[in-house]
Structure 1
Amino acid sequence: MKPRIFIDGEHGTTGLQIRSRVGDRSDLELLSIPEAERRNAAMREDLLNEADIAILCLPDEASREAVAMLGGNNSTRIVDTSTAYRTDASWVYGFAEMDLAQSERIRDARHVANPGCYPTGAIGLLRPLRAAGLLPESYPVSVNAVSGYSGGGKQMIAQMEDAGREDHIAAPHFLYGLDLSHKHLPEMQVHGLLTREPIFAPSVGRFAQGMIVQVPLQLDDVSADDLRAALQAHYAGQDVVEVASSDETTALKRLDPTQLAGTDRMKLFVFGSKVGGRINLVALLDNLGKGASGAAVQNMDLMLAA
């Protein structure tokens, strides 16, 4: 019998991307709700309880409601793409490459919290360095990032693309989260193994998909080569996360945030060289790929392998 997959919220941006990745797979049975019935609580509850794995592509409160709909059902497993459970110790964080044993934890989990797009880049850079003892836990981390506008969902896509809207956004690039209280901060701190909340400066560019996440550092007695070696050791043998070599990094004159758009991969760079000098850690990914829908499918596949 094929595993039954229900994408709750399949008509939103993340859900549509997941559907496009699994829609033609013959090894799955997809349970679907018509768009006109997406607010039909009884139908959603039935499908949630019928599924072997439910992928929740919903706002936080709606995700909590979906989990509650399962009641005492211990058979449906969940991948939740909201921020509702990302720092909940009873849920497994769905970043498979974060630790050596993380993919096994995901495989065996009932509840998996899919990471955010920005945190995927930040944690992907920070956690291996924390684990290797190269970055102090109290370091005043700052994270600067730019995302494609699809990360804002259907409303922002319309605001960016439809010049006739009253709320049309004409800017080629804009900052947001100016109060420095972005919802992704808790998971960056917790899963980045930091004791201080980072300063996070997110922004959006006039391109649909893609992302650059930057973490600038100034460390005494540690070189860019040291940091690159730690990242390469951590991600050795991985086929999703790649660390650019020193030669490749040195040869770069610019970095395009759309370079990995349409893929589910992430590439990490370490710029700088001198011990005690300025270093810039950079993650390149698709905000809807490894940053959202691609990661959700990766987690689903790990869970199906249990």
Structure 2
Amino acid sequence: MSDVLAQLLQRQGTVVLDGAMATELEKRGVDTSGPLWSALAMRDAPQAVLDVHRSYFRAGADVATTNTYQANLDAYRRAGVSRPDAENLVRCAVQLARRARDEHEAATGRRGLVAGSIGPYGAYLADGSEYTGAYSLTPQEFADFHRPRLHLLLQAGVDVLALETMPQGEEVRALLDLIAAEAPDVPAWLSLSVRDDAAALRDGTPLEDVAEWVKARPQVRLLGVNCTRVATATAALGQLTAFTELPLVAYPNSGEAYNPVTKTWSPVDGGSEEELLADAAHAWEDLGVRAIGGCCRTTPAQIGALATALR
């Protein structure tokens, strides 16, 4: 596979990622309240998933991230979805993102990428563990958990792998080993879930350790943070600049706080403002950030403002 991510970075300077999927599905009447979050939408509301991807491309995004953050086979099995059907839902997620990408290219001449989202084991637990890292498996168990989705994403034709919201050091190491062994030619980015002090992953693993592991994995093209407040993201990015020469990636959430019991978000710092991402973008570029987007509760309007600010 050619390194389309490196080519896009070179062409664009700073790449605009997309924003939240579940938030936009909810606006379209899709129920995302269950343990699978938005992962059943490929079965129940595929048109809505496609429309969300389209909305981000129209806003100025360069990348469509597949709706597979929580779409792992174990979670589908637990929800009563057969393995063949679950595999088809993961493939469908890629097909929908590719369709939106291809339509956008046909209309504008701008070729975007499809990033295959791989969320942490904590997302499967559906208890907010991506914000704590409070779980433990062996490296082999982590690899066995992530392998089926990885292979399905690759078979369906993603351009890049997005290892997202990773809160746990041993899981990060296991995932890096897995993609190096089984997808060595596919570019990837690694985006971390960090503590509020921005010095470590949620489980306490120092950012310096993660940066050292990434140095041995040349397929990782971007390193950074996602699904945290803008201020915390800025602090973590500043820390990472001391540990890595890689370009960085940042896609914070809206600044709201997530309650894993009620599965609701509540305002913290007024983060729903349209300029939330745009206001941070140039300071992040000065830190070496070369891919910027939004995570939970961010919107196409915010991605549009970001794209305007960067271009």
Asked whether the two chains share a fold, i.e. TM above 0.5, the reply is no
TM-score (norm 1): 0.31
When you count helix as a share of all residues, which structure comes out higher?
2
